[in-house]
Structure 1
Amino acid sequence: MSLGSRGAALLWRAALTAALVCGIGLLPWLSRTDPALTVLRARSAERTPTPELLDAIRAQLGLGEGPFHLLGQWLSGLVRGDAGQSWISGDAVLPSVVEALGVSLLLMAAALLVACLTAFAVCARTLRLGARRRLGGRRGTGGAAAVVVALPEFLIASVLATVVGVQLGWLPALGWYGPQWMVLPALALGLPAGALLGRLVADLLPGAFAEPWAQASFGRGVPGRRIAAHALRRCVPGVLPNLGLFAVGLTGGAVAVEQVFDIPGLGRTTLQAALAQDLPVLQTGALLMVLLAAVVSLLARPASRRLVGRALTDGALSSLHRAGQGTRSFLPWTYGVVLVALVGIGLLRDPLALDTTAKLQPPSWAHPFGTDALGRDMIARVSHGALTTLALALAITTVCFVAGVLLGLIPRISGPLADTLNAIPAVLAGLLVAGVAGGGSLTPALAVAAVAWTPLAAHTSALLQQERAAQHVLATRSLGAGRWHLLRRSLLPAVLPSVLRHAVLRLPGVALALAALSFLGLGAQPPSPEWGLLLAENQPYAEQAPWTVLAPALALMLLGALAVSATGGARMPRRRRAEAMVPA
């Protein structure tokens, strides 16, 4: 990257950061509520909000000067190392937020370690087959990985806290007082992310083992383990940007896990400040998350180039994507039939029918999935929730896939934008969208779509960077092929299958993010039977009546398994030899 383009990228990143921080700073006014009233309720809920009391709070906080004056005052204080005082507690903001950032960084490091170990475990079978030259272009179905990916973090956290922490007593479940308190939350965060990263790496490994260097190494008698290690290194750059996005997302997106384990992290601190409209804490927390995103991004890209080496500029790489690569299996049909049967049985029942004499009943012939705390049939609620949950999640995933691919083609513009938006939790994005557009059923969809395209764009950019350095692309370019021909005939057919599989892998997560926002009052409300909302509603009864949580979790696991097994057959289309050699 030239010096001028690097300076332009830095200016673009700075402009995005400034716009985001200003938008967050104006959130109390965008939400169409009186910040003084919200602050009074947070400080002392029992006091009557008289006009005189509200005027006194406005004068104390400087609200009478307007939002832009407060924003400028906060920015000028940052230059002096002063982020102001909390509107709720009156304490200095910077020490508390920096302390929360330290907690999040420790949790992020532990979760990254768990994610890397989990990703390696997911790739182990593919690596073993490749080292023995038995891969043959096959890709594992990844059923176990699909189940882990489909499980929400807060469900894993709740199960670990209840079973491992409370019932077995092996590890502490609440608080943040030392390394032992870090294990369970790191597992809850690292397992789903590691399963997803492992699937992305396993998707590229067959192409790495088919490259000429690997075939030559096999012919020379190089040990299979050594070849497998180099194949793994060859594939890591393609997912390294997503690893960076995951690391940043931990600081702001681990709110549910921090709530379950009572961890004072940055995401939880920022979200609580947003709900209480504690403007100084909210602005400082958001700024630190954005700065962390910029640092991780600046580290991830050079690391990717270093792993690949000079081949990126010399055009000496082979394509990791092979025509016809993929597998056909009956597993998608199996998962699909089970999911359709589950939904079909429940559609014949009333999801809102109350039976106070049948509260928290275990599974039986009358109620195959049991009943909830109000006596409602769980299979009926899961089935009816599928209609709205799956349709909206599928529509958002499709939009994010298209947006991710298109924006991934212009990484200089989309890279800083993806890094900046990824630093904002979906919940906080929902609050921003609700402030601008108001509440309603479309608010969660807009909020999730605003941030869900970022990993797909990062994946597209990383794969395109390597594919452009492939030998066949260099040869096609030397024959006089233009950019449009290369993009249409060589680059997109090689990249789209992997990005499509990545998008479908995130489908259960999109469904959960939608329901989480609805649960916070930014969309659909009870008695809506959305799957994630069912999980959140029945979480207090997980120990007494585990079937109330396992029913929607089972539906999500089936959705994840169906997604992984179905996309395992996505292939790069074959082209006629003459069409592949002659440029347009």
Structure 2
Amino acid sequence: MRRVGTQVLAAAGGRAGALVVVVGLVGLLPWLSGTDPALSVLRARSAEQEPTAEALQAVRDDLGLGEGPLTLLGHWLSGLLRGDAGTSWVSGTEVLPGVLSGLAVSLTLMGASLLVALLIATALCARMVVRGARGALPQGAGGGAGAAMLASVPEFLIAPVGLLVLGVWAGLLPTSGWTGPRDMVLPALAMGIPAGGLLGRLVADALPGAFAERWAELWRVAGVSTTRIALGGLRRAVPAVAPQLGLVAVGLTGGAVAVETVFAVPGIGRAALGAAKSQDLPLLQGCVLALLALGLIAGALAQLLRRRLLGPSLRDAALTLPAPRPAAATALRVLVPAVLAAALLAMTVWGLLRDPFTVDTAARLGAPSAAHPLGTDALGRDVLARLGHGAAATVGTAAAVTLAAGLIGLALGFLPAFSAGVADIANAVPPVLAGLLVAAVTGPGTTGAALAVAAVSWPPLAAHAATLVQEVRASRFLAAQRAIGATPSRILLRHVLPAVAAPVARHAVLRLPGTALALAALGFLGLGAQAPSPEWGLLLDESRSYLERAPWAALAPAAALAALAGLAVSLASLNLAGARTAAGTGTGAETGAETGARWGVRSWVRGARVRGARVRTGTAVTVTPSAEEGVGGRL
């Protein structure tokens, strides 16, 4: 009990410390920024005034920018306590009213998106609930590829495609603005579809275990109605995934930045992006704090909902459900990722043989032809060439980010109590929000985008490593090593580290496509690679201005990104099937720790975010709070 209490205190301390660091970094943005804040304010107040040394110093004195970082942070925090978030450097207006106005719009949009998500999740799970209530649900059943694909497609990809198909071509819905309920439909669909796929997959994966329990069989034998059994199964399955509702809300906050930008919705996400690009740091500080608070509050409410649904008698029992056992990897499961990878590789190689920077104004916005198989952009540059060169740059950056996240996750996996608390805060910061903060300090660019994604990509890897470390240290062969006098350092370097590092490395490799999607999202928002770079997200963003005249220029990078998302889902599904098969055939020569280390992660991908890690314990699956409740998130 004392050890458990110490772990809880350590996790709480890590969580509080990480929150203090994040808030401190937000408060120090004016000091951390590489630009001169006084110059930004002077240009905003009077673009014609000469930026002399005297004028700049006057601005610094007026805003208190000449003081040290601690004084600056203290003034900002004391202002927040008084309800004063500062004054916008660009408009000169109070920040707090603007933040509250944008927050109201974003909350309305998030509510509509959550409604869409619940409808989609209901549609995905309805058939499984009915079959489970009738006792006809196989133990190996799961959420399916459809739900996984919906969960993996990012909002920044759905938004322009929906705008093109339903808004421009079909003319069914408005493509921009915020004047009535019809303006809400396309943005809500763009944000709600991935969230619905994720929720549907989570619940569907929990249903087989719930309906396989003894109570369901007894109820059917006793003649209880199918409706009551179905409701009982949902009551048993939903609390286990209730903490993920908070992560869905975090995903909505990150998705709001892209969706509000595409559809010109005057929400807080769009305001934050505009503030980051214009270096309006007081407004960016207010927006980031509001988005961070939304994620933390949503996570707390999800935990309260879980406890409420369980009741006092089931709070501990709900942590164990019989694990669904998927079918072994089939030829089709192997073929799908192979075909997607081959198609992306062929397109990349073909594009690399062409020049991505040659400008031909006579061929502007040209349709696909023999000379330009995917058409040309607004400057007459070959789209295929730019896709090929962009793939090479994107994958290279994603590989570096994946390596950094893997090393961080592996190191923090040996500090589970501390990393669990820090991971909770990292999970409340979507990659887009991290990109906004980094861009405010370093400016938009590939390096800043890579730092932002790496900063929030390590929690699932750390949770996986912590689970494996716990299994390895509890194994019998380590007890034998200690008995023969092996030193702790030898045990760590020769036994524990190799058993943990290899599976975590494989896990990190599976996250590579999703990491590339996260980088593309920042490029789409203008926070990543800058023109004339052919980065995929930037290509998609550039094509929005001529979407109606040359849709092929947008559909080409959209199709490539969709294939990348499909590859991420296929790899995760293939790994899951092989993992369960291999884990079930382990021999005595392979320790339980090694089996768990190789196959202990049960994951589904949304962009590359692993949603849970589970430890095999006999016939049940124990969901570790740091993994199931603290790991996951949103692109």
Shorter chain as denominator, the TM-score bin is 0.7 to 0.9
Q: Match of 2:584?
A: 574
1:520 Cα deviation (Å)? 6.5
Unaligned runs of 5+ in 1: none
1:9 Cα deviation (Å)? 5.7
Partner-residue secondary structure (3-state), 1:336: helix
Q: Match of 2:121?
A: 119
Structure 1 stretch displaced more, 339-348 or 310-319:
310-319
Cα-Cα RMSD: 4.4
Give 1:526's match in structure 2, choosing from 531, 538, 542: 531
Q: Match of 1:160?
A: 162
CA distance in 2, matches of 1:221, 1:400: 53
* Change beyond 3 A, Cα 1:28–1:409: same
Q: Match of 1:92?
A: 94
2:138 paired with 1:135: yes
* Change beyond 3 A, Cα 1:67–1:583: closer
User: Could you tell me which amino acid in structure 2 is paired with residue 380 of structure 1?
Assistant: A
Q: Could you list the per-position Cα deviations for residues 21-56 of structure 1 after superposition, in whole angstroms to 9, with x for gaps in the alignment?
A: 221222232222210101223334344322232222
Q: Answer whether contact 1:343 1:386 (CA < 8 A) is retained.
A: yes
Q: With structure 1 as the length reference, what TM-score do the two structures score?
A: 0.80
Q: Answer whether contact 1:152 1:509 (CA < 8 A) is retained.
A: no
Q: Answer whether contact 1:253 1:426 (CA < 8 A) is retained.
A: no
1:422 Cα deviation (Å)? 3.9
User: Could you tell me which amino acid in structure 2 is paired with residue 317 of structure 1?
Assistant: T
1:147 Cα deviation (Å)? 5.0
1:217 Cα deviation (Å)? 5.2
2:364 paired with 1:362: no
CA distance in 2, matches of 1:394, 1:233: 41
Q: Answer whether contact 1:242 1:459 (CA < 8 A) is retained.
A: no
CA distance in 2, matches of 1:399, 1:44: 44
Q: Answer whether contact 1:150 1:560 (CA < 8 A) is retained.
A: yes
Give 1:539's match in structure 2, choosing from 544, 556, 560: 544
Q: Answer whether contact 2:28 2:72 (CA < 8 A) is retained.
A: no
* Change beyond 3 A, Cα 1:292–1:71: same
Give 1:334's match in structure 2, choosing from 314, 336, 339: 339
Q: With structure 2 as the length reference, what TM-score do the two structures score?
A: 0.74
Partner-residue secondary structure (3-state), 1:367: coil
CA distance in 2, matches of 1:13, 1:25: 18
2:285 paired with 1:319: no
CA distance in 1, matches of 2:411, 2:154: 29
1:104 Cα deviation (Å)? 1.9
2:43 paired with 1:41: yes
Q: Could you list the per-position Cα deviations for residues 134-182 of structure 1 after superposition, in whole angstroms to 9, with x for gaps in the alignment?
A: 636254651x445544544234223434543455554433333343332
Give 1:272's match in structure 2, choosing from 262, 266, 274: 274
CA distance in 1, matches of 2:14, 2:139: 45
User: Could you tell me which amino acid in structure 1 is paired with residue 296 of structure 2?
Assistant: A
CA distance in 2, matches of 1:135, 1:372: 50
Q: Match of 1:65?
A: 67
Structure 1 stretch displaced more, 251-260 or 170-179:
170-179
Q: Match of 1:553?
A: 558
Partner-residue secondary structure (3-state), 1:110: helix
Q: Match of 2:455?
A: 450
- Kindly report which structure 2 residues correspond to 1:205-354, keeping only aligned pairs within 5 A, or say none: 205-214=207-216, 227=229, 230-308=232-310, 310-313=313-316, 317-322=320-325, 329=332, 330-354=335-359
Structure 1 stretch displaced more, 36-45 or 11-20:
11-20
CA distance in 2, matches of 1:532, 1:567: 23
Q: Answer whether contact 2:142 2:205 (CA < 8 A) is retained.
A: yes
CA distance in 2, matches of 1:457, 1:223: 44
Partner-residue secondary structure (3-state), 1:568: helix
Q: Answer whether contact 2:365 2:376 (CA < 8 A) is retained.
A: yes
Structure 1 stretch displaced more, 321-330 or 334-343:
321-330
Q: Answer whether contact 2:239 2:310 (CA < 8 A) is retained.
A: yes
* Change beyond 3 A, Cα 1:383–1:119: farther
CA distance in 2, matches of 1:214, 1:430: 47
CA distance in 1, matches of 2:232, 2:331: 28
CA distance in 1, matches of 2:331, 2:234: 24
Q: Match of 2:110?
A: 108
- Kindly report which structure 2 residues correspond to 1:318-467, keeping only aligned pairs within 5 A, or say none: 318-322=321-325, 329=332, 330-394=335-399, 396-397=401-402, 400=405, 413-430=418-435, 432-433=437-438, 441-454=446-459
CA distance in 2, matches of 1:583, 1:88: 57
1:541 Cα deviation (Å)? 1.8
CA distance in 2, matches of 1:582, 1:9: 27
* Change beyond 3 A, Cα 1:194–1:96: same
1:533 Cα deviation (Å)? 1.7
1:184 Cα deviation (Å)? 1.8
Structure 1 stretch displaced more, 63-72 or 155-164:
155-164
1:268 Cα deviation (Å)? 2.5
Partner-residue secondary structure (3-state), 2:85: coil
CA distance in 2, matches of 1:70, 1:107: 34
1:109 Cα deviation (Å)? 1.5
Structure 1 stretch displaced more, 93-102 or 401-410:
401-410
Structure 1 stretch displaced more, 335-344 or 93-102:
335-344
User: Could you tell me which amino acid in structure 2 is paired with residue 350 of structure 1?
Assistant: D
User: Could you tell me which amino acid in structure 2 is paired with residue 420 of structure 1?
Assistant: I
1:447 Cα deviation (Å)? 0.9
1:373 Cα deviation (Å)? 1.9
1:332 Cα deviation (Å)? 2.8
Q: Answer whether contact 1:400 1:456 (CA < 8 A) is retained.
A: yes
Q: Could you list the per-position Cα deviations for residues 260-313 of structure 1 after superposition, in whole angstroms to 9, with x for gaps in the alignment?
A: 222222223233333444343333333333333332222222333444553453
Q: Answer whether contact 2:377 2:553 (CA < 8 A) is retained.
A: yes
CA distance in 1, matches of 2:416, 2:169: 49
Q: Answer whether contact 2:240 2:319 (CA < 8 A) is retained.
A: no
* Change beyond 3 A, Cα 1:152–1:22: same
CA distance in 2, matches of 1:129, 1:456: 35
* Change beyond 3 A, Cα 1:151–1:509: same
CA distance in 2, matches of 1:120, 1:460: 34
Q: Answer whether contact 1:515 1:532 (CA < 8 A) is retained.
A: yes
Structure 1 stretch displaced more, 522-531 or 435-444:
435-444
Q: Answer whether contact 2:523 2:530 (CA < 8 A) is retained.
A: yes
CA distance in 2, matches of 1:4, 1:428: 32
CA distance in 1, matches of 2:136, 2:63: 69
Q: Answer whether contact 1:139 1:568 (CA < 8 A) is retained.
A: no
Q: Answer whether contact 2:155 2:190 (CA < 8 A) is retained.
A: yes
Q: Answer whether contact 2:366 2:380 (CA < 8 A) is retained.
A: yes
1:390 Cα deviation (Å)? 2.8
CA distance in 1, matches of 2:184, 2:377: 32
Q: Match of 1:510?
A: 515
CA distance in 2, matches of 1:186, 1:458: 32
Q: Answer whether contact 1:239 1:459 (CA < 8 A) is retained.
A: no
Partner-residue secondary structure (3-state), 1:373: coil
1:376 Cα deviation (Å)? 2.3
* Change beyond 3 A, Cα 1:61–1:134: closer
Structure 1 stretch displaced more, 222-231 or 386-395:
222-231
**Taking every aligned residue pair, what percent have the same amino acid on both sides?**
52
CA distance in 2, matches of 1:206, 1:345: 45
